[in-house]
Amino acid sequence: MSAQVRPHPPDNDHSAPAEKRLRLQTDEVDLPTPSISITDPDLHHDQVQPKKHLKKAKKKPKHKLPDPYSSDDVLWRDVVSLLGEQDVARMTAEGTQWDAPLGFRDELEVVVSRLSSNGDALALAPEPHSPWVIVAPFALPGETIRVRVYRSSRLHSFADLLDVLSPNSELRDSSRVTCKYFGKCSGCQYQMLPYEKQLGIKRDVVIKAYQNFSNLPASAVPTVLPTIGSPKQYHYRTKITPHFEAPPKKARHDQGSNPTDGIKPDWLKIGFNQIGKRTVMDIEECPIATPVLNEAMGPIRENIINNIWSYKKGVSLLLRDSLDASTSVDADATTVDILSAQLEKHVCITDHKATVREKVGNKYFEFPGHAFFQNNNSILVPLTDYVRDAIFPASSPGFKQPTHLVDAYCGSGLFSIMLSPHFTTVAGIELSADSIKFATHNARLNNLPEGKCTFRAGDAANIFSVVSDFPREHTALIIDPPRKGCDANFIEQLLAFRCQTVVYVSCNVHTQARDVGMILERMKSVGEGGTRYVLESLRGFDLFPQTAHVESVAVLRLVEGGI
């Protein structure tokens, strides 16, 4: 029996490396630059050259290894785990780990063993190709699938899914798929899965990240709590960035200066990247985006079609869901009361410089269209409440009530402002001067007492000199860095600052695991004052339903005594 899976057309061009292919969540997947090196023996073997071979070392390496903590690196750990250390060690010693037993466009049947943390299915290649791993999208554990190989890497080959020959009926429910592009678009991976299963898979991603990337003993990592689901599982995404290419030379030549008359030329695709390809696919609606973004898509597409000949370069569009911010808010009139009167209408913002307005709980946030803001508004109250409850545990004997909050990587002030009623003093820092301007504005917009929240632009590590007079035992630190995580300087200063509670929120659990591992490990040797951090709790939040992404929240608490 075949399941409803749309096969790829036969003309796939898979020449692009996976990391170059844009995904829908482009802002969440800025690939990490490693700030702390890891000790993968294989990496060292291939990259560190003895001095006498310096000349050779300058040559481009034959095989490019993935950047540490990149999605390819995460996949590599999954591949090793599936093959087993023994086979991997043997093939590494034999130098056969790059010798793919399968060629371009080879077709084969495989049984899916498990999912990778990136959401792809992993299967062991059958004899005579084993040991080797096949990586394919949109398939589930236990399923027999037919695939076609398009690219090979170290110990694994990437393949298109051609057909699901025997679906896993306990997991796959094709009736759940609401998007006509699912199976081709690179934005979503899990629409065929019941939501509870998606949450379970994301919990496993958090568990695996700490096993593979934290360097911590199992005893130092608490049982990962169940993933908190998103109140909205569709129509939640408040920002999308579809893109399109400029007219190809030939089309320009053929068309001359004739207008399109509103008819979309065949070569013009406005949308997101196809799975496994560098090419854009045409997308007229996106069911994970909010209704106002979907409504705006039609007129925006029409405008591009009518004016396509004026584009000399490809364009990445911005569509952002905003409460109606068209009325300018002057400093004296910025009260929540005034806003409440005008607000509940949603509009689509397309200008990077325009002001976007969102409401979270009873607070309002404004920020520039180009700036970072969490993309799933529906889960922000549960998320910020969770962080608040972690900082103020219900009953903990001898617990010193926090009064001061440090918000590192604060953006336009989400955590600072949401949690401000619970603190006397709040200090935030953020690299983007624009976001800081808005964080300060947002404190006023929400009528916070003057001087309670202070925000400054700069590198996160600079915050520690600013808050050196905060009472450490009454201070909580929230960290919410970009995907690359914190740098070593920040972690060193955090260890010296040593406040009572650290809540680490991250959209990349792999760099979070690295950083938390580093904090706990370094604490052993720093040891000042007889205190150390423990990882008290760990859980995922599903900010990105239908996709393989997960937000992870780690709570670190300072405790007395050694290990």
Residue stretches of the annotated binding site: 374, 409, 430, 480
Tell me which of 185, 188, 453, 507 is the catalytic residue. 507
Reported as type and span, the H/E element at residue 501 is strand 501-506
Decide if residue 238 touches ligand SAM (CB under 6 A): no
Whose structure tokens read 């406005």? 270
Considering the complex, state which of residue 28 and residue 143 has its C-beta at the smaller distance from ligand SAM: 28
Spell out where 125-278 has E strands.
Answer: 133-136, 144-153, 156-166, 225-228, 239-240, 243-244, 271-273
d(Cα 278, Cα 323) in Å, to the nearest integer?
Answer: 34
Whose structure tokens read 């509670």? 501
Q: Please confirm, yes or no, whether 507 is among the known catalytic residues.
A: yes
Report the nearest approach of ligand SAM to the CB of residue 392 (Å).
19
Considering the complex, state which of residue 319 and residue 505 has its C-beta at the smaller distance from ligand SAM: 505
Interface residue with ligand SAM among 206, 296, 410, 556 (CB under 6 A) is: 410
Interface residue with ligand SAM among 67, 282, 434, 459 (CB under 6 A) is: 459
Amino acid at position 213, single letter:
F
Task: List binding-site positions for S-adenosyl-L-methionine.
Answer: 374, 409, 430, 480
Decide if residue 415 touches ligand SAM (CB under 6 A): yes
Question: Looking at beta carbons, which residue is closest to ligand SAM?
Answer: 411
In the range 15-54, which residues lie near ligand SAM by CB under 6 A? none
Interface residue with ligand SAM among 411, 485, 517, 540 (CB under 6 A) is: 411
Closest by CA to 131, choosing from 86, 64, 174, 67, is 86
Q: What is the DSSP string of 283-304?
A: -S--TTB-HHHHHHHHHHHHHH
Decide if residue 515 touches ligand SAM (CB under 6 A): no
Amino acid at position 42, single letter:
D
Report the nearest approach of ligand SAM to the CB of residue 531 (Å).
26
Report the nearest approach of ligand SAM to the CB of residue 380 (Å).
8
Interface residue with ligand SAM among 355, 435, 508, 552 (CB under 6 A) is: 435
Interface residue with ligand SAM among 236, 373, 455, 497 (CB under 6 A) is: 373
Spell out where 23-155 has E strands.
Answer: 107-115, 121-124, 133-136, 144-153
Interface residue with ligand SAM among 117, 432, 442, 500 (CB under 6 A) is: 432
Exposure of 344 in the CB half-sphere (CA atoms within 13 A): 4
| Angle, helices 195-213/71-83, rounded to nearest 10 degrees | 90
Considering the complex, state which of residue 80 and residue 555 has its C-beta at the smaller distance from ligand SAM: 555
Q: In what order do the strands lie in the sheet with 239-240?
A: 239-240, 319-323, 346-349
The stretch among 65-73, 247-255, 371-379, 535-543 that binds ligand SAM (CB under 6 A) is: 371-379
Tokens of 269: 């695709």
Please give the C-alpha separations between residue 226 and each of 114, 118, 162, in angstroms, as whole numbers. 20, 19, 33
What residues are annotated to the active site? 507
User: What residues line the site for ligand SAM (CB under 6 A)?
Assistant: 372-374, 409-411, 414-415, 429-432, 435, 459-460, 480-482, 507
